[in-house]
């Protein structure tokens, strides 16, 4: 694939092991940006219909085509805030390919003009620059690719190498400080089971704010499309201390501890991320203990009051606005119930951390979509006695909310008025301290804990 120096077009030569007849782009708008497509051997043009190429005869073994990168970029709203030498265009727009099976692989090589860089969501080839490997994936959303001149860093976190790409806008960015924050925040996840869940995750940072918003990270999401990408929209004018105290990036990184779950079970992935964002920020010393349990208690209460007539599966399958808090906190309640029960059963030998660690070793990153029952059956395979499947059957399709108020009191996190008070003499206070206690095993940015 060749991208010209002015970022006007991308020229692609696609070679296949066997003749293929079904080639398409994933975006419905891709056809309007395709300049020409032809067979490599005789130059005969190939017609298009919507987002499909009309391959003649028995198929093609080599295809050549060009895409108007500039026009495609104008259709992508994120380019409005970027400098002209940064272009965001999804591969769903410019990549025409066959559908991938579970065992299929595409090798992608870029030829770039001098000083140009590329950022794509695929697995990098460690031996050759600008070469990547694309496999089937859940396609939970549409990932982005970036071409141009931007800050790109490889950041070590435990045994993983994260690719951090900081795009360029009119807003000045302290790149070194942002990279340090990303590394520190990714290190929060290591406080779970000692590793980062994905050895080659990609983080794309888009500076969009101007200091007038309240949050340093205005939006974040995980996209599992050919790989795992975390996209973060930040306000670079906010003080760096605010970034370290903000929960958004830790929440998004926590998602990588689970595979992509079917839409109706996304309450599990959202809830586990809610649980871990608070637990891990406490372990890192970003949250004081009382503040972390205040956040957990308040969130669980919001979930308990949300659409009480619906089950978690029903809430996730329906209108998220009506049941949003149930979607985001039912899984957190289940995570808390499981974590405490595991610690009680084994005197701390088994924890939610250790189960997720065993799952990561066997099954992450995953290239497929999982159901909640599949995930919890796998978790139970690491235990002597089932737990997760029991909790799932008990609560997933049952109206209401998993009962955690009494458990919180046993943990010594009881509410007096609007405040949560920690009681170190409570029956399970030692379990609470084990869950959220300060972890000093990882170097961290020096800052006082937040306690509000």
Give dist(CA 59, CA 19) in Å, integer: 5
- Least confident segment among 85-94, 128-137, 277-286, 319-328: 319-328
pLDDT above 80 (res 215): yes
Cβ atoms of residues 145 and 117 within 8 Å? no
pLDDT greater than 90 at residue 224: yes
Q: State how far the alpha carbon of 258 is from the alpha carbons of 2, 37, 179, 278, in Å.
A: 36, 40, 24, 17
pLDDT, residue 443, reads 60
The number of beta carbons lying within 10 Å of the beta carbon of residue 161 is: 15
pLDDT, tens digit (0-9, with 9 covering 90-100), for 80-127: 889 999 999 999 999 999 999 989 999 999 999 888 999 999 999 989
Structure tokens at 85: 């030498």
Instruction: For the chain, give the percent of residues with pLDDT over 70.
Output: 96
What is the pLDDT, as a whole number, of residue 347? Answer: 85
Per-residue pLDDT reduced to its tens digit, 2-25? 999 999 999 999 999 999 999 999
pLDDT band at 318 (very low <50, low <70, confident <90, very high): confident
pLDDT of residue 171: 85
Q: Give the count of beta carbons closer than 10 Å to the beta carbon of residue 127.
A: 6
User: What is the chain's mean pLDDT, rounded?
Assistant: 94
Q: What is the pLDDT of residue 57?
A: 86
How much is the average pLDDT of 425-432?
Answer: 97
Angle subtended at Cα 222 by Cα 218 and Cα 226, rounded to the nearest 5 degrees: 140
Residue 445 has pLDDT above 70, yes or no: no
For residue 402, pLDDT beyond 80: yes
Q: What is the pLDDT of residue 444?
A: 61
Among candidate residues 254, 266, 401, the one with its CA nearest the CA of residue 330? 401
How high is the pLDDT of residue 115?
Answer: 86
**Band of pLDDT at residue 320, cut at 50, 70 and 90:** low
pLDDT of residue 154 exceeding 90, the answer is yes
User: So what's the pLDDT on residue 50?
Assistant: 87
Between residues 140 and 279, which one has the greater pLDDT?
279
Residue 276 CA, chain-centre distance (Å), reads: 14
Per-residue pLDDT, 209: 75
> What's the pLDDT score for residue 13?
97
Give the pLDDT band (50/70/90) at residue 213: low
pLDDT score, position 56:
86
Model pLDDT for residues 382-397, shown as the tens digit of each residue = 999 999 999 999 999 9
**Residue 308: pLDDT above 90?**
yes
CB of 369 closer than 8 Å to CB of 225: no
- When mean pLDDT is compared over 161-165, 321-325, 445-449, the highest value belongs to 161-165
Tally of residues, the chain: 452
Domains recognised in the chain with CATH numbers: 259-436 (1.10.390.10)
User: pLDDT digit string (tens) for 247-270?
Assistant: 999 999 999 999 999 999 999 999
pLDDT of residue 447: 58
């Amino acid at each position: 694939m060749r991208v010209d120096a002015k970022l006007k077009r991308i020229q692609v030569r696609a070679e296949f092991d066997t003749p293929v007849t079904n080639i398409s782009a994933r975006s419905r708008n891709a056809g309007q940006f395709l300049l020409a497509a032809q067979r490599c051997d005789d130059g005969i043009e190939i017609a298009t219909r919507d987002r499909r190429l009309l391959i003649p005869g028995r198929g093609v073994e080599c295809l050549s085509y060009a895409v108007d990168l500039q026009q495609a970029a104008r259709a992508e709203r994120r380019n409005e805030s970027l400098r002209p030498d940064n272009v965001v265009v999804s591969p769903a727009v410019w990549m025409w390919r066959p559908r991938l099976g579970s065992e299929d692989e595409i090798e992608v090589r870029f030829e770039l003009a001098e000083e140009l860089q590329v950022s794509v969501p695929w697995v990098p080839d460690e031996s050759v620059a600008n070469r990547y490997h694309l496999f089937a994936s859940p396609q939970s959303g549409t990932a982005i690719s970036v071409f141009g001149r931007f800050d790109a860093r490889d950041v070590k976190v435990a045994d993983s190498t994260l690719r951090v790409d900081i795009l360029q806008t009119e807003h000045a960015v302290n790149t070194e400080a942002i990279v340090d924050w990303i590394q520190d925040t990714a290190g929060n996840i290591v406080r779970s089971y000692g590793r980062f869940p994905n050895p080659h995750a990609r983080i794309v940072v888009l500076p969009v704010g101007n200091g007038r918003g309240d949050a340093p990270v205005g939006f974040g999401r995980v996209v599992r499309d050919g790989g795992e990408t975390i996209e973060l929209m930040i306000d670079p004018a906010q003080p760096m201390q605010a970034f370290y105290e903000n929960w958004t990036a830790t929440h998004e990184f926590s998602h990588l501890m689970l595979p992509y779950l079917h839409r109706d079970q996304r309450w599990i992935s959202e809830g586990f991320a809610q649980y871990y964002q608070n637990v891990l920020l406490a372990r890192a010393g970003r949250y004081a203990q009382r503040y972390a349990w205040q956040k957990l208690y308040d969130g669980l209460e919001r979930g308990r009051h949300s659409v009480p007539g619906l089950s978690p599966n029903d809430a996730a399958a329906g209108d998220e606005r009506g049941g949003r808090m149930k979607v985001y906190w039912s899984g957190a309640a289940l995570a808390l119930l499981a974590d405490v029960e595991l610690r009680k059963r084994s005197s701390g030998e088994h924890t939610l951390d250790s189960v997720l660690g065993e799952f990561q070793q066997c099954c992450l990153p995953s290239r497929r979509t999982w159901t909640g029952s599949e995930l919890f059956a796998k978790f139970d395979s690491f235990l002597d006695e089932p737990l997760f499947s029991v909790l799932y059957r008990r609560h997933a399709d049952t109206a209401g909310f998993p009962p955690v108020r009494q458990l919180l009191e046993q943990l010594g996190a009881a509410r007096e008025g609007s405040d949560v008070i920690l009681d170190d003499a409570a029956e399970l206070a030692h379990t609470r301290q084990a869950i959220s206690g300060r972890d000093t095993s990882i170097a961290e940015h020096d800052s006082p804990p937040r306690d509000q």
